[in-house]
Amino acid sequence: MTTTSPALDPEALTTTTLVHPATAEAQWWRSAVIYQVYPRSFADSDGDGLGDLPGITARLGHLTRLGVDALWLSPFYTSPQRDAGYDVADYRSVDPRFGTLADADALIEKAHRLGLRVIVDLVPNHTSSEHAWFQAALAAAPGSPERARYVFRDGKGPGGEQPPTNWRSVFGGPAWSRVTEADGRPGQWYLHLFDATQPDLNWENDEVRAELESVLRFWLDRGVDGFRVDVAHGLVKDQSFPDWGHRTDMVSGDDEDDAGHDPGPSPYWDQPGVHDIYRRWHQVLAGYDGDRCLVAEAWADTPEKIAAYTRPDEMQQAFNFDYLTTPWDATRLREAITDGLTASDAVGAPCTWVMSNHDVVRASSRLGLPETGKGPNGIGADDPQPDAELGLRRARAAALLMLALPGSAYLYQGEELGLPEHTTLPDEVREDPAFFRTGAAEKGRDGCRVPLPWEADAPAFGFSPTGATWLPQPADWGGFAVDAQKGVPGSTYETYRTALRLRRDFRLGTGSLAWVDGLPDCTAERVLAFTNRELLVLANLGAEAVALRDVEVLHASGPLGGGLDGEVLVPHDTTVWARLRRDDAERD
């Protein structure tokens, strides 16, 4: 019996290399792992049940221990919180619920001292209806400069009773609401692609452009390293205002078409004019030292259209949500990864990888549903419940696959704990406007926003000193707490930590990917295999275990089996990071 494994005979393998020169350069954001902090739910220092900036500052050590490079903070600005802070009433102040400007400064300063970069959220598509500008617009007359900062139009039909177009809000219902004029009569309509409390700004207006640039400078002057740009593809609207009655799905960007027809191009998403705005912002950032960056949240249709936001004179990154929305299927994931890398390479930008955020069902629940992919907009107690064990197993496998890819990766708080979605929240506690605007047909995003468990045996699992939490935590979350996982080999937390350490040691973020075909039993329908630098990465998405020989295993998303002659058995839904035992193979 020969000890040479045909699996590792280079002649038997074919590789397809995707060169990724864009990551070879020095800027930190090209390969950074960026951790999303959702301020409401990270850590509460004052015990009111809502997280806050001092709570985050006190827990920054968690991020350095985990081994990430940067944090992105979801909005903490003054806001009535009708969309969890994505409804900004004042871009230059901190909501008292979250702290003060001095607290923001202290957070940025401590993060920098710890070697972490800080990205803040910028919401330029809309303000809160409580923003001083919108209040002034309501008080002013049609045609006034105050109204010109937003998208006000007369209605259609006799008396203007019909909305100006049939556009629909992303959260459900119409995208226009009617105001009452000073004389008490029903008047003009204003556009809101999201909640009625989030009026869209008019980006045709120079004052709007100047104001948001000034907001960028305000935070750049305070030392932030960049911005995550909310709904970056929505700012510019087709000024002919044609009808287009489709509802767009968040994150996937899919347009719901009741009749099953191709909806055709949208008059408000991804208009060519948005790119001029980001060319201008690029210049603003270039005036500052230290590699500041912009990352676009743009649900554009194709990887190429998303990559267009990261052309050399625009933003530095754009979220590539394909990895998140692609079903758990080896062939389709390979295609998504190839397409993402190819499109970003073509413009010299790093690709980004995302599995979870505050808008989608958490990966460890999503991947436990019978149908994987983007998932539903929330899960309720009466809905089919995910298979928690399978979901977590797949989420860990997906994480190791993602963290081995070249480019920049985003983690959503709690992902490193394997935290599931809260799938049985009572409707009375829900806050997501999508729940209300769909008449409860969609449960919404609250289930992925539940406060984090830090300590298994403390009130609110250590989230707040009083035990108060703005959303209830499931009673069985003690096992997910950071202190229950720290130092425990094989825990999700330690699995992420090891992955991040190896990613750094092997410089995977700045490497290049070469698909490996021809490993025995590893058909492309079941297994994803690639190399990045010296690392061989194999993800088994099939139902049967696959055997690997002549490898030194460095890391795995779950327990591996052993076979004859030192074979390593990689069970289903498991990813392994290994190094080829080249010396042995050559000797044989």
Active site residues: 230, 297
| Residue 231 binding ligand GLC, by CB under 6 A | yes
Work out how close the CB of 86 gets to ligand GLC at its nearest, in angstroms, rounded to a whole number: 3
Question: 76: Cβ–Cβ under 8 A, 6 or more apart, which residues?
Answer: 39, 53, 85, 94, 95, 98, 99, 104
**Per CB under 6 A, does 519 bind ligand GLC?**
no
Least distance from ligand GLC to the Cβ atom of residue 297, Å: 6
Q: Which is nearer to ligand GLC, 360 or 551 (CB)?
A: 360
Q: Which is nearer to ligand GLC, 152 or 171 (CB)?
A: 171
Cα-based angle 467, 468, 473 (whole degrees, multiple of 5): 85
**Would you say 151 or 392 has its CB closer to ligand GLC?**
151
Q: Does 442 bind ligand GLC (CB under 6 A)?
A: no
Using CB positions, name the residue nearest to ligand GLC: 86
| C-beta separation of 252 from 326 below 8 A | no
Output the smallest distance, CB 179 to ligand GLC, in A: 21
Q: How far apart are CB 466 and ligand GLC at their closest, in Å?
A: 27
- Interface residue with ligand GLC among 190, 194, 309, 454 (CB under 6 A) is 194
Among 322, 359, 421, 442, which residue interacts with ligand GLC (rule: CB under 6 A)?
359
Per-residue contact string for residues 58-87; x = within reach of ligand GLC by CB under 6 A: -------------------------x--x-
Tokens of 376: 């539903």
Q: Cα separation of 367 and 418, whole Å?
A: 12
CB contact at 8 A, 118 and 225: yes
Selection from 205, 176, 179 nearest residue 193 by Cα: 176
Place of tokens 């008490």: 184
Integer angstrom CA distances of residue 304 from 123, 256, 320, 347, 511: 24, 22, 10, 9, 21
- x/- mask, ligand GLC, residues 286-305, rule CB under 6 A, reads -----------x--------
By C-beta, is 73 or 250 nearer to ligand GLC? 250
Binder of ligand GLC out of 33, 68, 116, 123 (CB under 6 A): 123
Q: x-or-dash pattern for ligand GLC, window 306-335, by CB under 6 A?
A: ------------------------------
Give me 282's structure tokens: 């690029």
- Nearest approach in angstroms of CB 291 to ligand GLC is 24
**Residue closer to ligand GLC, measured from CB, 232 or 400:** 232
| Sign of the Cα pseudo-torsion (431, 45, 79, 75, in order) | negative
Nearest distance, CB of residue 365 and ligand GLC, angstroms: 18
- Pick from 368, 461, 386: nearest CA to 424: 386
DSSP string of 121-148, one letter each residue: EE--SB--TTSHHHHHHHHSPTTSTTGG
The kind and range of the H/E element at 78 are strand 77-78
Candidate residues 44, 103, 200, 230; the one interacting with ligand GLC per rule CB under 6 A: 230
Rounded-to-10 torsion of CA 471, 476, 480, 485:
140
Our CB check for ligand GLC shows the closer of 362 and 549 to be: 362
Number of shown-chain residues binding ligand GLC (CB under 6 A): 10
Q: For every residue of 501-531, which 3-state class applies, written as one string?
A: HHHHHCCHHHCCEEEEECCCCCCCCCEEEEE
Cα separation, 429 vs 422, in Å, equals: 12
CB of 233 to ligand GLC, least distance (A): 10
Closer Cβ to ligand GLC, 97 or 228, answer by number: 228
DSSP string, 539-568: EE-SSS-EEE-SEEEEEESS--EE-GGG-E
The residue ranges that bind ligand GLC (CB under 6 A) are: 83, 86, 123, 194, 230-231, 250, 297, 358-359
